[in-house]
Amino acid sequence: MKRFERLFEPRAIAAVGVSEDAARPGSQTVHALLRNGYPGRIYPVNPKYPTYEGMTCYPSVSAIEGEVDVAVIGVPARGVIGVIEDCAKKRVPFVVVPSGGFRESGAEGAARQDRMLAIAREAGMRIVGPNCLGLVNVHKDVYAGFGSITRPPALGKGSVSLVTQSGGFGYSIALACQQAGIGFRNIIATGNEADIDTIEFLDALLEDEGTSIILAYIEGLPNGRALLDVGRRALALGKPLLVWKGGVTEEGARAAATHTANLTGSYDYYRALFRQAGIVEMRELYEAADYVKAFQARKLPAGRRVAVMGGSGGSAIVFADAAEQSGLDFSSFSEETKRRLWKVVPEIGAVHNPVDFTAGYITGANAGRFEAAVTAVLDDAAVDALCINFATTAIPGCLAGAQVLERVVKDTPKPVVVFLSTPAPDSLPVFDAARVPVVPSPVRAARAIAMLASYREARERESDRAAREDVRAASDSPLVARQSFSEADSKAELARMGIAVTRDVLVRSAAEVRFEELTPPLAVKIASADIAHKTEVGGVRLGIRTREELTEAIDGVLSSARTLAPHARIDGVLVSEMVVGGFELLAGAVNDAVFGPVVVVGAGGIYAETFADTACRLAPFGERTAREMIDELRCRAILDGARGRPALDVDAVAHALAALSRYAWANRETIAEIDINPLFALPAGAVAADALIVGKRVTGE
């Protein structure tokens, strides 16, 4: 934060372009600073006015006698360069450029942006924007911008900071949080990011002690790896980073060469990165508020086992539906817990999970029993988190119930979330004091708990030293220099990575085959570009186990094809090692322009495109991460041996994926794509039956 101290805590702000028109950006800056009681110096700048709002108005920034930490350049794009030059002369360390009319508006604007950046670089000056709303430091009453972020309602003070690539939508996230009672620290709308970008601001907020939770709205990044790095550091620090990715739909087909690469898109890579870095993804505005409240309670569940209690059976059912869909499990209470509940829950209720303490239970008169019931459930070792459905509890009951929770829940390490429908504003501060997030639906309660459980898992994973050591092993991966690979070359490279491959041999006659070098069963197929349906000309024989069968099969398919397809040009016969009894996966690596090497695994075969059952991770990674990828596949159950089939060797698949990731990382300068299709998972081992490596196109080729 040190490097941005003058930006976030400026002692003096110049507002260039103030005007009688209060709608002008410069005017908005000055009015917001005055309205919010900014304690530093304010310097209005406009050569037309001697004074502005009772203050001296300066003809230029360089005419200001005192030091200026931030200049907000509230003039149209055309006038910006002149002001920038003047700011450089004055040695202003930070400028905020609200105006549009730069890179986003075509060639002239792009040239203007480049010119502006060159002047700033020369002067050691940093730029926020252009084409941005600027920034706010809520605690220091700093409003260095214009538009929604400077307007009422002013945000409350708190420890949440926000970086957004969209001023308008980003501020909607802040307002949704504010309406849920959440306070803020810094808000930055970054605009075109000519100079300071989202990553640099996230970095600064990681260092900022006053920021405990970071929100971000991101549309695109030039370097996805930097977000992985920032996210991992945030995770290690325990500062939750919540990201909304805008623009998740892929625009048309991608120009990738291989099958695997076409199955995924940049949003898949973002989501993989989020998982690898423990970044919490937001998909709705209320999630921002729910998740921040859940984090602010500062309790993470030890596992995914959840309990729910309340007087509304329907609310418990709806919670259970959402809990299952969110990957939570239901706790099984101990006999001791049930005995304790039995004493305080009415006879017509239920003492198993969900606990039904019947309608009208949460009242002042019944506070002791409610307290005993909550305590009994929280004391159960099988409970990692608890949802209490207040639902439509009467207003006085809400307050009494909140007071009970304030007593008993404050010190438990287990997260407790309350679903409440009744408008009972008086009880909300009491729930806050109890560190209990209150949400208006059981579905949202389940999602918030599941989010906390996933975050906790990500923290554990990140603190696992082994995972990082796996990554270092990437430096041991074989390096290649070539840029073009035949299928044979590709399979040879796989073998060098440590991935088992099947062999194929093209022969013209049975005499050419060296049977002892092949592992049966073998397949024999006629090789002819003129024969589309090989089986129909008797051109395929499978399951060959002996030398004699092989000779007979090669002769057979050759003679059958010559008879039934007399005009076909025949190249020979392909003898292939057959893979028997396995399951067809596909795997690959894509060297993405933004994310670098990304490894993909998925269900193979004819359904591959249809179901797009894939998982991906940014390379390099170890076998633990590879197993997580496999666990994400919907076809996972097949690998475990669904429908009486044998279980398949998931370890071997994970080993192959990790090896592939190390290789893709080590060769990221030269290799564009790797396609292993199919990769057979077998009862023992995993074997690649076909592969294609595509080198990077050399510039100018």
Binding of a second copy by 324 (CB under 8 A): yes
Q: How far is CA 567 from CA 121, 245, 560, in A?
A: 72, 57, 13
* Residue 462 CB neighbour total at 10 angstroms: 18
Torsion of CA 78, 80, 83, 88, to 10 degrees: -130
Give least dist CB 566 to a second copy, A: 16
Before 153, cis peptide (omega within 30)? yes
Give least dist CB 342 to a second copy, A: 15
Which C-beta is closer to a second copy: that of 430 or that of 603?
A: 603
Q: Which residues contact 323 (CB under 8 A, 6 or more apart)?
A: 306, 308, 330, 446, 449, 450
Residues 576-595 that bind a second copy (CB under 8 A): 583
Tokens 């942006």 appear where? 113
Give least dist CB 34 to a second copy, A: 17
Exactly one of 12, 236, 372, 394 binds a second copy (CB under 8 A); which one? 394
Task: Using the rule CB under 8 A, give the single segment among 200-208, 230-238, 314-322, 592-600 that binds a second copy.
Answer: 314-322
Give least dist CB 322 to a second copy, A: 9
Sequential DSSP letters for 639-673: HTTGGGPPP--HHHHHHHHHHHHHHHHHTTTTEEE
Exactly one of 321, 487, 548, 571 binds a second copy (CB under 8 A); which one? 321
Distance CA 56, CA 342 (A): 75
How remote is the C-alpha of 349 from its chain's centroid?
A: 42
Which C-beta is closer to a second copy: that of 42 or that of 318?
A: 318
- Give me 449's structure tokens: 């708990």
Exactly one of 36, 56, 334, 392 binds a second copy (CB under 8 A); which one? 392
Give least dist CB 645 to a second copy, A: 9
Binding of a second copy by 168 (CB under 8 A): yes
Exactly one of 176, 448, 554, 619 binds a second copy (CB under 8 A); which one? 176
Tokens 């030398």 appear where? 547
Which C-beta is closer to a second copy: that of 511 or that of 606?
A: 606
Give least dist CB 535 to a second copy, A: 4
Exactly one of 34, 117, 154, 285 binds a second copy (CB under 8 A); which one? 285
Binding of a second copy by 602 (CB under 8 A): no
Distance CA 127, CA 84 (A): 10
Distance CA 45, CA 53 (A): 12
Give least dist CB 441 to a second copy, A: 4
Site string for a second copy, 42-81 (x = CB under 8 A): ----------------------------------------
Residues 468-497 that bind a second copy (CB under 8 A): none
Exactly one of 72, 297, 391, 524 binds a second copy (CB under 8 A); which one? 391
Residues 91-150 that bind a second copy (CB under 8 A): 100-101, 104-105, 133, 147-148
Residue 529: burial class (beta carbons within 10 Å; 0-12, 13-18, 19+): exposed
Task: Using the rule CB under 8 A, give the single segment among 9-17, 352-360, 380-388, 457-465 that binds a second copy.
Answer: 352-360
Which C-beta is closer to a second copy: that of 102 or that of 431?
A: 102
Give least dist CB 154 to a second copy, A: 12
Binding of a second copy by 519 (CB under 8 A): no
Give least dist CB 55 to a second copy, A: 24
- Give me 315's structure tokens: 């609310």
Residues 399-428 that bind a second copy (CB under 8 A): 421-423
Amino acid at residue number 21? D
Which C-beta is closer to a second copy: that of 449 or that of 458?
A: 449
Which C-beta is closer to a second copy: that of 326 or that of 667?
A: 326
Amino acid at residue number 260? T
Residues 29-48 that bind a second copy (CB under 8 A): none
Which C-beta is closer to a second copy: that of 261 or that of 458?
A: 261
Exactly one of 425, 606, 698, 701 binds a second copy (CB under 8 A); which one? 606
Give least dist CB 133 to a second copy, A: 8
Angle among Cα 352, 355, 360 to the nearest 5 degrees reads 145
How many of the chain's residues bind a second copy (CB under 8 A)?
87
Exactly one of 236, 248, 428, 467 binds a second copy (CB under 8 A); which one? 248
Exactly one of 70, 320, 648, 681 binds a second copy (CB under 8 A); which one? 320
Q: Which residues contact 473 (CB under 8 A, 6 or more apart)?
A: 620, 622, 662
Angle among Cα 110, 17, 189 to the nearest 5 degrees reads 55
Which C-beta is closer to a second copy: that of 145 or that of 158?
A: 145
Give least dist CB 205 to a second copy, A: 20
Which C-beta is closer to a second copy: that of 38 or that of 357?
A: 357
Distance CA 681, CA 387 (A): 41
Residues 442-461 that bind a second copy (CB under 8 A): 442-444
How remote is the C-alpha of 449 from its chain's centroid?
A: 18
Which C-beta is closer to a second copy: that of 248 or that of 650?
A: 248
Binding of a second copy by 359 (CB under 8 A): yes
- Give me 181's structure tokens: 């009672």
Give least dist CB 518 to a second copy, A: 17
Residues 522-541 that bind a second copy (CB under 8 A): 535-536, 538
- Give me 636's structure tokens: 């996972």
Q: Is 253 helix (H, G, I), strand (E, B) or coil?
A: coil
Which C-beta is closer to a second copy: that of 150 or that of 212?
A: 150
Pick the closest to residue 46 from 77, 13, 20 (CA basis): 20
Residues 252-281 that bind a second copy (CB under 8 A): none
Q: Is 267 helix (H, G, I), strand (E, B) or coil?
A: helix
Give least dist CB 228 to a second copy, A: 22
Before 442, cis peptide (omega within 30)? no
Which C-beta is closer to a second copy: that of 512 or that of 640?
A: 640
How remote is the C-alpha of 676 from its chain's centroid?
A: 26
Residues 545-564 that bind a second copy (CB under 8 A): 545
Contact 299, 409 (CB under 8 A): no
Which C-beta is closer to a second copy: that of 363 or that of 375?
A: 363
* Residue 633 CB neighbour total at 10 angstroms: 18
Terminal C-alpha separation, the chain:
45
Residues 614-673 that bind a second copy (CB under 8 A): 634-635, 637-638, 642-643
Contact 389, 310 (CB under 8 A): yes
Give least dist CB 302 to a second copy, A: 24
Residues 201-230 that bind a second copy (CB under 8 A): 217, 219
- Give me 359's structure tokens: 């309608």
Before 346, cis peptide (omega within 30)? no
Q: Is 174 helix (H, G, I), strand (E, B) or coil?
A: helix
Exactly one of 389, 591, 625, 677 binds a second copy (CB under 8 A); which one? 389
State the DSSP code for 154: P
Q: Is 205 helix (H, G, I), strand (E, B) or coil?
A: helix
Contact 77, 66 (CB under 8 A): no
- Give me 499's structure tokens: 């991935």
Strands 572-577 and 540-544: unpaired
